[in-house]
Amino acid sequence: MPEFFIAPGGLRLIVEELPHTYSVSLGCFIGAGARHEAPVRSGAAHFIEHMLFKGSQRYPTARTISQTIEGVGGLLNASTSYEATVYYAKVATIHFERSVQLLSDMLLHPLFELHEIEKERRVIIEELRGLQDAPGDWVHDMLQQTMWAQTPLGRDIAGNIETVSLLSRNDLAEFWQRHYNRSNIVISVAGKISAEQASAAVSAAFGNLSDGMPTASQPCPSPVAGPRLTLMSRDTEQGNFCLGLPGLAYNDPDRRPLQVLDSVLGGGMSSRLFQTLREDHGLAYHVGSYHNELSDVGMWVVYGSVEPEALRDAVALVLETLRELVRYGVTDEELAMVKEQVKGGLLLSLEDTWSVASRNGAHLLRYGQVMPVEQVVAEVEAVSAEDVRRVAARLMRNDLLHLAVIGPYSEEDARDLEALLAESF
């Protein structure tokens, strides 16, 4: 079991000893992301994530930062989401102190040099432009905008070209000072290291963190009323679609039945969507589903890429598959198989030190504790076929249904798709 420490000053640290491994992973979880930005500063959290790799007090250049970890065979990376930003390193155990010193200096003493900000601004703008050249990815962002409109969840995590162009050094520094503090950070360590050694190193390296205040929770957004279609006509080789419904928060009591339901619907080659659209009808090579959980809401998405002329048939089959789940639920065979799939996937994911550190840190940031694997397995085992059918009926409603499409389509095609969406569950 992981050991939880409150370091002097209140820094939260969790350590899981994995003596059978040869590596140790360190993650710094900041409870702030794109959802906590003012609209005119959209993209600030993601911009800061980039800038922390461009120079700090002891490691003044991007090359110095990368070589400190990559030069000893380690991995260094970060990610920004709507509610958190994560920085992490994975190294051989003998280089743990090095990773602690680097990450602490990056988070506590970034330089935010003006010339580096301007260089990175151009990189991020190109990143945003590049998304438009990848319709299979862009359609997911379009669905966010379709469902959540002008709320923070309707904006790209990286912002847009206009807001990124206007972000100043003061904007970045102010967001960093407000959120990168002791009250808003969780440190997670997992690997071949003792809890005492990890605690001593982290406490010393992060001892100068400012106290600060936890990031304030945001009001729960309301999705735009459906059914709603957003269609972008582009001369593409495939028709790309995302069909979405508001999902569940990560503390919702129905999250396990939804996990099972999502796996039945689009979780791999044995799922209903894969079998129906690809194996039975040959309409799609790429099809699946996923569920994103946030503190107060979620998003459940079905996605696919098809030959342009097959789009209407593919969407119709997806909707019919959803209706069948509402009307008839899942079979006993499906339920048993998916339970084993969910449990097996969870257990396999815990073989890597960063996977363990990531899970522990995310749980501590979200719930204030780490949910034991045994508890998760027991909750999945307890899901009944009636639970799955009930959650399907709870979420699958026409007034919550949204569809985003990119492809070579006309207004007449849009009307056909709107007619499909109007059919009742």
Catalytic residues: 49
Look at residues 10, 1, 16 and name the one whose alpha carbon lies nearest to residue 198: 16
Look at residues 105, 19, 11, 33 and name the one whose alpha carbon lies nearest to residue 364: 11
Which residues neighbour 9 within 8 Å (Cβ) at sequence distance 6 or greater? Answer: 182, 207, 209, 211
**Tokens 């598959």 — which residue?**
321
d(CA 24, CA 100): 11
CB 357 within 8 A of CB 190: yes
d(CA 321, CA 270): 14
DSSP string covering 325-355:
HHHH---HHHHHHHHHHHHHHHHHGGGSHHH
d(CA 39, CA 143): 19
CB 383 within 8 A of CB 335: yes
CB 215 within 8 A of CB 36: yes
Residue 232, classed as helix, strand or coil, is strand
